[in-house]
Amino acid sequence: MAKPARTRKAAATPDTGPDKGPTDPDFELHSLQAAHVESPRFDASDEQLMGFYEQMLLIRRFEEKAGQLYGLGLIGGFCHLYIGQEAVAVGLQSALSEGKDSVITGYRDHGHMLAYGIDPNVIMAELTGRQAGISKGKGGSMHMFSTEHKFYGGHGIVGAQVALGGGLALAHKYNEDGGLCLAYFGDGAANQGQVYETFNMAALWNLPIVFVIENNGYAMGTAVKRSSAETEFYRRGTAFRIPGMDVNGMDVLEVRAAAELAFAHVREGKGPVLMELNTYRYRGHSMSDPAKYRSREEVQEQRDHNDPIERLKKELIERGKSEDDIKAIDKAIRARVAQAADFAENSPEPEPFELYTDVLVESY
Amino acid sequence: MAVELKMPALSPTMEEGTLAKWLVKEGDSVSPGDILAEIETDKATMEFEAIDEGTVGKIMVAEGTENVAVGTVIAMLSGEDDDVSDAAAASPAKATADVAGEGKDVGREPSEAELTRPVRAEPKADPDIPHGTNMASVTVREALRDAMAEEMRRDERVFVMGEEVAEYQGAYKVTQGLLDEFGPKRVIDTPITEYGFAGIGTGAAMGGLRPIVEFMTFNFAMQAIDHIINSAAKTNYMSGGQMRCPIVFRGPNGAASRVGAQHSQNYGPWYASVPGLIVIAPYDASDAKGLMKAAIRCEDPVVFLENELVYGRSFELPELDDHVLPIGKARIVREGTDVTIVSYSIGVGLSLEAAEQLAEQGIEAEVIDLRTLRPLDTRAVLDSLAKTNRVIVAEEGWPTCSIASEIVALCMEEGFDHLDAPVLRVCNEDVPLPYAANLEKLALLDSARIVAAAKRVCYAD
């Protein structure tokens, strides 16, 4: 079985022995991780906890609906679902300074858009290729953007978003706007050369960037251990002196706590941080993935014992929320998603003239 | 409320499939994520999961049924409070329609899509140079440097990055002096990582800056071509016009002198084939300066192709406060009546030499410098063709799928009635560039070949 979604690796501790303090030249490389191990979970208020729950549930239901619409032929091409990984985007993005920080990711981008609170209607309408879609129907599942939220996509070439994220971080630093860039990529992209070119320049130029490896265990259908010589991805910045953090991506409170440490480090001007978020993708790589490279039991094991939404639901009940309250939320979210699907299904397709718009900004 | 479970499309190409096996039976309770059935697609056997909670009602399509069209109702699922028994048998839904128009040959008739294409406005003419303007003799190298420096003074967002652009003062000295004036924040030496820094430059442009990314030569930009094309050129379109990428990728392009095959290639045709890019390849100092300034101000991504052999050549340049030239406009550099020589970059110099030799033989050639390769000033070419009725294209680059090929196609499609002779491509030989001096000379475009081709189309041999 692949490594993802374990609670914490034994490997994380030997680096942080009791004798290693700030005088150790390598202290910075593991100090964030040490602080994270010390206090792994975010102390959320009831309201915050409920907010996380609603956001994660919205992503899950939205993605389930997207899968359904794909099955009906309303969504075409490639469609990569975020089911199972919800805690990552919600935990990280809840810690950003909105309007100041930027985010960039790869093609599995629906969840990151929803975590920003972007209207599900325009996201779903993009999936169905309609004029009302956030990219006017010209981008599709993999290419969605919201410059208003400083969300820069939505990129289909594995690893390209890492270098582009380096550029967004360069712009933050150049403009001295106090923002940072959160650049997501997967365990598969983590083997691309340009990722390390970017690590080098980001560390060299002290860029305000948080690199996030969403390790869901599989690069398309290739398990991490079959594609990666170093499967502890949080260590991969060490050669560039980028501190690493090893985070349980199935618990939104652990993700949020780790994000606060990482963002504070970057905002203090100390340069990039590399976070490995260990998570699990319940669905195939894309809609046409037969998932023959892993067992049904493996997936079921994660669903039954490690589900980020179930974990939070339990927590909410422990804090006194009633089953009925939770059911009511579930019902409201289902209704919201159904409305988005209706909107996406009934919106008109782009006008033919849109074929030739947005190729260039100016006319020559 | 009862939900119809329909035969799902499980791949981008699936139209029908086999319902291999039901894993639930009528009356079973299911939760989201439970596997309901196994379906064989054109690619693989896939699992069909429940989306909603409920009870399986009537199973409409038995297991083992082949060729079940996508969208056919295969079973009913009732919600919490529904009565399962009255789930009526629905008629099989129609399969999704075939993709229309595939493989249709449109010939010379415009396609339906093409009819929606906005008519391109006439490119703007070069601004008039006021009488009495002093003309200075300036090298192309200095003109490019001055253009960048002027724009950096004008706009704080403009910065230069690339290998050896700062402390070394530019591998070909094009960025000489910029570090001293603008400091290391705006003149950034990069490591030798073209893919990475082209991506960082592109991301910085998306983030609101105006980067000038220098490639030591465009040969090395092949490592970065993914960002130039997939990231810089396409993102505005893919985002429905939300994302801007005002960046200039610049550096020497084409053959230099005896540097071998890997360092001697003209990428003009490569980039000029990509919608979403502007491609500029000037020849003289005035055009280099005026178009570089336009490129830096432009809201679109620009590939700016220079030529190492031309950097040191001096040309007349008007001493103006703000010398900016229009993108997308060709220039007639020599007027003539007998034959048109279309060229760009270093080919323009060779074409002018050839025109002098032709004049001695009584043939007056008109020489057009395209200056911008995308968008191409097709009007300039066609107007000249209408005047001379003969066209050759002189290009320092390979002939296959070249700018020359494009001009030939343009003349065939839109200027056929004006042609008195076939349009000829005068290009480099179709081989990797050799090192040996004699072989290199044999491979490269020269004025003698241009003269010979011009005479051939004038039937003057």
Mean residue pLDDT across chain B: 91
The residue of chain A nearest to residue B243, with distances taken between CA atoms, is A147
Look up the CATH number of the domain holding residue B370.
3.40.50.920
Claim to verify: residue B379 and residue B441 sit in the same structural domain = yes
> Which of B318, B353, B379 is the last residue in one of the domains?
B318
Domain that holds residue B13: 3-78
Per-residue HEC secondary structure of B7-55 comes to: CCCCCCCCCEEEEEEECCCCCCEECCCCEEEEEECCCCEEEEECCCCEE
B364 and B421 in a single domain? The answer is: yes
CATH number for the domain spanning B234: value is 3.40.50.970
Residue of A105, A174, A334, A357 to mutate, interface with B, max B Cβ within 10 Å: A174
CATH architecture for the domain at A43-220+227-288+295-350:
3-Layer(aba) Sandwich (3.40)
Check whether residue B143 and residue B231 sit in a common domain: yes
Q: How confident is the model at residue B100 (pLDDT cuts 50, 70, 90)?
A: low
Respond yes or no on whether the N-terminal peptide bond of residue B269 is cis (omega within 30° of 0). no
Please report, for residues B319, B377, B407, the alpha-carbon distance to residue B329 in angstroms, rounded to integers and kept in the order given. 21, 5, 15
| Average pLDDT value for residue range A268-282 | 97
B339 CA: distance to closest CA in chain A (Å): 27
Within-domain flag for B112: no
B166 and B296 part of one domain: yes
Residue of A nearest to B328 (CA): A364
Q: Do B230 and A360 touch (CB under 8 A)?
A: no
Q: Which of B238, B278, B300 sits opposite A135 (nearest CB)?
A: B238
Cα B438 to Cα B434: distance, rounded to the nearest angstrom: 9
Task: Name the phi and psi angles at A276, rounded to 5.
Answer: -100, 120
For B268-311, how does the pLDDT look when each residue is reduced to its tens digit (9 = 90+)?
A: 999 999 999 999 999 999 999 999 999 999 999 999 999 999 99
In chain A, beta strands by DSSP E: 102-105, 151-154, 181-186, 209-215, 218-219, 222-223, 244-248, 273-278
Asked if B396 and B404 touch (Cβ cutoff 8 Å), the reply is no
Rg for chain B, CA atoms, rounded = 30
pLDDT of residue A345: 96
* Cβ–Cβ pairs < 8 A, chains A and B: 221
How confident is residue B81, by pLDDT bands cut at 50, 70 and 90?
Answer: low
Chain B neighbors of A204, CB-CB under 8 A: 191
* Number of domains chain B is built from: 3
Contact B10 A288 (CB under 8 A): yes
Smallest Cα distance from A16 to chain B, Å: 32
* Pairing, β B73-78 against β B54-59: antiparallel
3-state secondary structure of A261: helix
Distance of alpha carbon B134 from alpha carbon B344, whole angstroms: 26
Residue A17 has pLDDT above 60, yes or no: no
Q: Are B332 and B306 in contact (CB under 8 A)?
A: no
Separation CA B167–CA B163 (nearest Å): 10
Quick one: B303 and B342 in the same domain? no
Is B241's CB within 8 Å of A136's CB? yes
Tell whether B94 is covered by a domain.
Answer: no
Residue predicted with more confidence, B115 or A363: A363
Give yes or no: residues B207 and B312 share one domain: yes
For residue A137, pLDDT beyond 90:
yes
- CA–CA distances in Å: residue A218 to residues A1, A82, A282: 11, 13, 11
At B89 the pLDDT is 42
Of B39, B60, B78, which one is at a domain's C-terminal end? B78
Answer yes or no: do B144 and B192 share one domain: yes
Q: Measuring CA to CA, how many Å separate B1 from each of A79, A227, B83, B251?
A: 28, 46, 9, 65
Known active-site residue B263: yes
Contacts of A196 (CB under 8 A, 6+ apart): A240
Last residue of a domain, one of B270, B286, B318: B318
Nearest CA in chain B to A66: B51
Tell me the HSE value of B385 on the side-chain side, using a 13 A CA sphere. Answer: 26
Q: Is residue B167 part of a domain?
A: yes
Annotation says B181 is catalytic: no
- With a cut of 90, say whether residue B357 has pLDDT above it: yes
* Residue in A with minimal Cα distance to B279: A364
User: Are residues B344 and B306 part of one domain?
Assistant: no
What's the pTM value of the predicted model, to 2 decimals? 0.89
Q: Which residue has the tokens 């997207």?
A: A66
Task: Answer yes or no: do B289 and B346 share one domain.
Answer: no
Q: Would you say B399 and B393 are in contact if contact means Cβ atoms under 8 Å apart?
A: no
A129 conformational bin, left if phi > 0, alpha if psi -120 to 50, beta if neither: left
Query: Chain B closest CA to A223's CA: distance in Å?
Result: 19
pLDDT in tens, A293-312: 999 999 999 999 999 999 99
Q: What is the pLDDT confidence band of residue B92, given thresholds at 50, 70 and 90?
A: very low
The pLDDT value recorded for residue B96 is 44
Chain B residues lying within 8 Å of A147, measured CB to CB: 239, 242-243
Which of B113, B207, B237 has the CB atom closest to A171's CB atom? B207
A350, closest residue in chain B (CA to CA): B240
Contact B199 A160 (CB under 8 A): yes
Identity of the amino acid at B252: P
**Candidates A73, A167, A204; nearest CB to B9:** A73
Sheet holding A209-215, edge to edge: A151-154, A102-105, A181-186, A209-215, A273-278, A244-248
Written as one string, the DSSP assignment of A263-299 is HHHHHTT---EEEEEE---SS-SSTT---TTS-HHHH
Asked whether the predicted pLDDT for residue B85 surpasses 90, the reply is no
Question: How far is Cα of residue B91 from the mean position of the Cα atoms in its chain?
Answer: 49
Contacting residues of B for A197, CB less than 8 Å apart = 191, 193, 195-197, 199
CATH of the domain at B54: 2.40.50.100
Closest CA to B50 of A303, A257, A326: A303
pLDDT (0 to 100) of residue B251 = 98
Residues B73 and B174 in one domain: no
A138 and B237: CB-CB below 8 Å? yes
Which entry of B142, B151, B194, B396 is annotated as an active-site residue? B194
Side-chain half-sphere of A119: how many Cα atoms within 13 Å? 12
> How high is the mean pLDDT of chain A?
93
Asked whether residue B300 falls in the same domain as residue B434, the answer is no
**ipTM of this complex prediction, to 2 decimal places:** 0.93
Residue A313's pLDDT is 97
- Residue B72 in domain: yes
- SS3 at position B217: coil
The 3-state DSSP class for residue B430 equals coil
Catalytic site residue from B263, B414, B418, B429: B263
Q: Which residues of A touch B227 (CB under 8 A)?
A: 160, 163-164
Contacts of B360 (CB under 8 A, 6+ apart): none
Q: Where are the domains of chain A?
A: 43-220+227-288+295-350
Q: B306 and B357, same structural domain?
A: no
Contact A362 B208 (CB under 8 A): no
Average pLDDT over residues A1-15: 45
Q: CA-to-CA distance for B385 and B383, rounded, in angstroms?
A: 5
